[in-house]
Amino acid sequence: GAVVSQHPSWVICKSGTSVKIECRSLDFQATTMFWYRQFPKQSLMLMATSNEGSKATYEQGVEKDKFLINHASLTLSTLTVTSAHPEDSSFYICSARGAGVSYEQYFGPGTRLTVT
Amino acid sequence: GNSVTQMEGPVTLSEEAFLTINCTYTATGYPSLFWYVQYPGEGLQLLLKATKADDKGSNKGFEATYRKETTSFHLEKGSVQVSDSAVYFCALGGRQFYFGTGTSLTVIP
């Protein structure tokens, strides 16, 4: 149980275009989803937290107009990188947390974005 | 505030050697502690967790004990295998997760 998927797993796009990454909780309802960014050989950096049906809360330094997050249902959150540039190339990982007292997060497999 | 300090790597061990990766934390309240493993090109997989002081998490031969007195959650394995080569992240979890910087482990035959 507690499986989180991401799609696509790998995407290449041209500079200036937008890319959408999906994060789905497959067997539980995710009241909260998190989006992380990971640079090579570095730790995860939390970008934003989203609760179903409400606006995402972005961490300091993360451009909300560039990284659009939508959490429209209890099983789906999307991250759209708008007007992507090469410096946006990174590994994006989502995680999901269900309702209840446990704060455990379940992580997706990640999406490798390369902007050319 | 909350934070995690993790032993820096990279760590290189011979197969069947003993592994310790140190992790200490600073936290308010009573967080849960986690170890995640990341294989090349993949996302994070939960390795083990402990939810309260003196709990021991264990999985696949790895162990870690939640030590409140030393604010530590060191990861240990008695005999590593080549397949254990990966990056290991210590994390402190509450409403938000705080990750250590990761420790790269390479096990050579």
Taking only the tens place, the pLDDT of each residue in A57-72 is 999 999 999 999 998 8
Task: List the single residue in B with minimal CA-CA distance to A90.
Answer: B41
Q: How far apart are CA B47 and CA A49, in angstroms?
A: 23
A76 is written with which tokens?
A: 């789906």
Residue A26 has pLDDT above 60, yes or no: yes
A to B CB pairs, distance under 8 Å: 44
**Residue B95, pLDDT score:** 76
Query: What is the per-residue pLDDT across A81-115, written as a single tens digit (0 to 9) for each?
Result: 999 999 999 999 999 988 765 667 889 999 999 99
**Residue B75, pLDDT score:** 98
B60 is written with which tokens?
A: 């696949």
Q: Are B3 and B50 in contact (CB under 8 A)?
A: no
Across the interface, whether the CB atoms of A107 and B42 are under 8 A apart is answered no
Chain B CB contacts of A34 under 8 Å are 97
Amino acid, res. A103: Y
Residue that the structure tokens 């290189």 belong to: B12
Distance from CA of A74 to the nearest CA of B (A): 18
Length of chain B: 109
Across the interface, whether the CB atoms of A110 and B42 are under 8 A apart is answered yes
Nearest-CA neighbor of A102 among A32, A3, A4? Answer: A32
**Residue A10, pLDDT score:** 95
**Residue A69, pLDDT score:** 94
Residue A45 has pLDDT above 70, yes or no: yes
Across the interface, whether the CB atoms of B101 and A43 are under 8 A apart is answered yes
Average pLDDT, chain B: 93
Query: What is the per-residue pLDDT across B39-69, written as a single tens digit (0 to 9) for each?
Result: 987 888 899 999 999 999 999 999 999 999 9
Residues 3-42 (A) with a CB less than 8 A from some CB of B: 6, 34, 41-42
Across the interface, whether the CB atoms of B96 and A110 are under 8 A apart is answered no
**Residue A86, pLDDT score:** 95
